[in-house]
């Protein structure tokens, strides 16, 4: 097996952030294609290259069908990648046998959107949280029992609930159970896939705060997947934007929200309603025409060109690479460059779909 350095040096065009140290997880040219037959292929993830650094929360945003959940699952091999590499502790997770991969899951965990569907309804909370301890032979008997109680306490569940079943809990409490189960193995890395989307507003804040507290205490690294851009702004240190299987922009969270470069990111950020009537009444909004195209046989060239107000002829042909437009701020758009980073100063496309600026 090759070492991480060899792996990484063998692949070109890796947008590497400076001053970030070694990544905990290095994803290289990862692809997940689903063959539907009849020449129809869903390219859910289509050549994603990303670094996830130790102790950070990388936010992954995009609209439904963009491939963000598939990417999260492919890292953990819950969905098998079609091609590419996922480097973790000098191993390429994508190349491991199933048995080897199962061992690695001790370090890599996931929290799901629907905490009810992801908990076995016939197991008590105690059994659910204990199961990973048994699977990985991490604790037995009395020790395991103590560990379960400790985990429940960590996520804010009373020990009294240990013999109860998932249906006896509210959505927020179920999400806490899911988090306790993920923490049982003391993982390094957690994929949080829409962890608060199914929860009430007042409960979302509780879970976001819990995740942040756990990260501080246990030096966890998160991939935080969500369509809720407000939650991601709050939770993430860096944010990657995905559109139809590709990463189209990546930078630290502040830069993504205050100074988005790629037209799709601009539209996405400007579509987020701000909970402030004064701001809402004055802000300009870039409203996109049309829907996200089908991920089955997506558009050629830049996949956003069908909805982009700035698209020109070349955008239909050239697949734009991620380019470091500003320091540590990467965007995939051929119409901008380090010399000309603002898309607004570029002429709109001749026959491009008009974006309404209202």
Partner 1 sequence: MSTGNGNLLEVRDLRTYFHTEDGTVKAVDGVTFNLRRGETLGIVGESGSGKSVTTLSIIRLIQSPPGQIVSGEVVFDGRDILRLTENEVRRIRGRRIAMIFQDPMTSLNPFMKISRQLMEMTRLHLGHSKAQAYAHAVKMLETVGIPDPRKRADDYPHEFSGGMRQRVMIGMALSCQPELLIADEPTTALDVTIQAQILELIKTLKQETGTSVILITHDLGVVAGMTDHLIVMYAGKVFEQAPTRELFAVPGNPYTKGLLRSVPDPTSARGTLYQIRGLPPDVAHLPPGCPFAPRCDRVEEICHREFPPFVRLTPDHSSLCHFAGEVYEESRLEREAISGQ
The residues that touch partner 1, with contacts defined as CB under 8 A, are 63-64, 170, 172-173, 200-206, 208-209, 212, 227, 229-231, 233-235, 237, 253-254, 257, 267-281, 285, 287-288, 290-292, 356, 358
Minimum Å distance from CB 274 to partner 1? 6
Between residues 147 and 305, which has the closer beta carbon with respect to partner 1? 305
Between residues 121 and 275, which has the closer beta carbon with respect to partner 1? 275
Between residues 76 and 180, which has the closer beta carbon with respect to partner 1? 180
Minimum Å distance from CB 46 to partner 1? 19
Between residues 6 and 291, which has the closer beta carbon with respect to partner 1? 291
Query: Mind giving me the DSSP string for 130-151?
Result: HHHHHHTT---HHHHHHHHHHH
Between residues 201 and 347, which has the closer beta carbon with respect to partner 1? 201
User: Which residues lie below 8 Å from residue 177, measured CB to CB, with a gap of 6+?
Assistant: 115, 119, 125, 128, 129, 155, 157, 166, 169
Minimum Å distance from CB 82 to partner 1? 26
Minimum Å distance from CB 80 to partner 1? 27
Q: Which two tokens stand for residue 295?
A: 């991920």
Are the C-beta atoms of 44 and 32 separated by less than 8 Å? yes
Phi, psi of 85 (to 5 degrees): -130, 145
Which SS3 state, helix, strand or coil, does residue 284 take? coil
Strands 356-357, 40-53: pairing kind:
unpaired
Minimum Å distance from CB 175 to partner 1? 12
Between residues 156 and 341, which has the closer beta carbon with respect to partner 1? 156
d(CA 7, CA 88): 11
Minimum Å distance from CB 62 to partner 1? 9
The number of residues making up the chain comes to 358
User: Which residues lie below 8 Å from residue 277, measured CB to CB, with a gap of 6+?
Assistant: none
d(CA 300, CA 92): 30
């Amino acid at each position: 097996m090759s070492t991480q350095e060899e792996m990484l040096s063998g692949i070109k065009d890796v947008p590497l952030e400076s001053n970030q140290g070694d990544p905990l997880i290095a994803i290289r040219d990862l692809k997940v294609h689903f063959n539907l037959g009849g020449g129809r292929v869903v390219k859910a993830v289509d050549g994603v290259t990303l670094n996830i650094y130790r102790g950070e929360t990388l936010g992954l945003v995009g609209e439904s069908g963009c491939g963000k959940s598939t990417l999260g699952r492919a890292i953990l091999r819950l969905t098998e990648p079609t091609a590419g590499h996922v480097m973790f502790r000098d191993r390429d997770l994508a190349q491991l046998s199933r048995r080897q991969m199962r061992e690695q899951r001790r370090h890599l965990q996931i929290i799901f959107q629907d905490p009810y569907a992801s908990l076995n309804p016939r197991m008590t909370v105690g059994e659910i949280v204990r199961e990973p301890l048994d699977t990985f032979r991490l604790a037995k008997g009395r020790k395991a029992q103590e560990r379960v109680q400790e985990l429940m306490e960590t996520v804010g569940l009373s020990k009294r609930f240990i013999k109860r079943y998932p249906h006896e809990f509210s959505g927020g409490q179920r999400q806490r159970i899911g988090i306790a189960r993920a923490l049982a193995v003391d993982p390094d890395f957690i994929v949080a896939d829409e962890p608060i989307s199914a929860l009430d507003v007042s409960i979302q804040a509780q879970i976001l705060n819990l995740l942040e507290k756990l990260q501080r205490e246990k030096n966890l690294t998160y991939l935080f997947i969500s369509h809720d851009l407000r939650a991601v702004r709050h939770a993430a240190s860096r944010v990657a934007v995905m559109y139809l299987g590709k990463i189209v922009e990546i930078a630290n969270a502040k830069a993504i929200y205050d100074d988005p470069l790629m037209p799709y990111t601009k539209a996405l950020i400007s579509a987020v309603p701000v909970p402030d009537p004064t701001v809402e009444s004055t802000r300009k909004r870039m409203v996109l025409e049309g829907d996200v195209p089908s991920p089955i046989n997506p558009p050629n060239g830049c996949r956003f060109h069908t909805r982009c107000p700035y698209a020109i002829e070349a955008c239909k042909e050239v697949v734009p690479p991620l380019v470091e437009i500003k320091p540590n701020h990467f965007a995939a758009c051929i119409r901008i460059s380090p010399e000309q980073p603002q898309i607004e100063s570029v002429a709109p496309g001749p026959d491009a779909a008009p974006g309404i600026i209202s």
